[in-house]
Amino acid sequence: MPNNRFIVIVFIYFLVLPTMALATEERDEKDSGSILGLVIENDSFTGTDKNYTNGIRFSMLSSEDKLPHWINSLASALPLADNGNKRISIAAGQNMYTPTDITQKNPPTTEQPYAGWLYGSVGIVSDTGKALDNVMLTLGMVGPLSYAEQTQKIVHNLIDSPYPQGWRHQLKNEPGIILTYEHKWRQMYEFSPFGVGIDITPHLGGDLGNVNTDAIMGATFRLGYDLPADYGPPRVRPSLPGSDFFIPTQKLGGYIFTTFAEQAVARNIFLDGNTFTSSPHVDKEILVSSLQSGVALTYKEARVSYTQVYISKQYATEEHPEKFGVLTFSWRF
């Protein structure tokens, strides 16, 4: 990751503010399609096996045209656009964190502690056609009850990878809660020479809870066809924002993209350790930069994407920036 973080922050700041008033026309018609999604994040895609080593997330977005009246009443009390079409979002997943050498029975105290996170989420998504708001509540469990230890041992046994030896040093059981909000402005400065669309989509958001408390700002640059279909590929949370949402307007579409973001981190339980009891921990970095690049393809009612993620050092004794790959599959029905 570039070391000149100040230039990145200033660039994003002056990109986001001037473009907030620029957008495409609002989308009036409600979409009758529901959306299933699967996100797989793993560092083995990039040839490593450390820190954030695996994440998997299943999700479903409801249709917009069959929501109960109380959903709209609840949405009016949340920071969501009143004129946006609403969806209910539900998801479940598991994240896994390990030090660099998983064959050591006593992992070094200067590296990412062993930890797992098993969770479920429910939220409301609001889309106006030019902006996307997302409010989500996530509840789960950190520690042995996340069953990350069992998951990694089973998978490594199946694929004949090194057997993890240090899970007895993982974080202790702790219930977790995260309240997430994000806002994205889509298709700023969009134009379509030769049928190819180009857009810039700034985003702002953050998390609040004992698992993660942070704020994030950034922007996504896209080049391709049928860009209004979505707001970018989804990601496992807590992370940089993506979207399970997509409504294709063409039979075949796709784009390449790059996302720059800056994150201010007040709490990260997977680095800070347990909230109410002593546990392994490291000294986290307060400001974290990230770069994501990849490709997304849509065909009829399906979408697939791959993202390469690079994250600057997240704790003081981390030797190298983190990198991992993300595969996503989405299907409308």
Return the pLDDT at 2. 47
254-to-61, 258, 260, 333 alpha-carbon distances in Å: 21, 14, 20, 20
| Residue 130 confidence class, pLDDT cut points 50, 70, 90 | confident
In total, how many domains does the chain have? 1
265-to-80, 86, 102, 137, 207 alpha-carbon distances in Å: 24, 30, 26, 19, 9
What average pLDDT does the segment 95-114 reach?
94
What average pLDDT does the segment 277-284 reach?
96
| Residue 240 confidence class, pLDDT cut points 50, 70, 90 | very low
What average pLDDT does the segment 26-46 reach?
85
Residue 187 has pLDDT above 70, yes or no: no
Please check whether residue 96 lies inside any domain of the structure.
yes
Please check whether residue 112 lies inside any domain of the structure.
yes
Element (H, E) at 150: helix 148-158
CA-closest candidate to residue 80, choices 30, 129, 121, 134: 134
Please check whether residue 134 lies inside any domain of the structure.
yes
165 is in which domain, residue-wise? 5-327
Tokens at residue 320, please?
């190298």
| Residue 329 confidence class, pLDDT cut points 50, 70, 90 | very high
Please check whether residue 319 lies inside any domain of the structure.
yes
| Residue 128 confidence class, pLDDT cut points 50, 70, 90 | confident
Please check whether residue 109 lies inside any domain of the structure.
yes
Please check whether residue 333 lies inside any domain of the structure.
no
Q: Which single residue is written with the structure tokens 């969806």?
A: 87
Residues 6+ apart with CB under 8 A from 95: 52, 54, 55, 116, 117, 119, 148, 236
Please check whether residue 332 lies inside any domain of the structure.
no
Please check whether residue 229 lies inside any domain of the structure.
yes
| Residue 24 confidence class, pLDDT cut points 50, 70, 90 | low
Specify the CATH number for the domain of residue 126: 2.40.128.140
pTM: 0.88
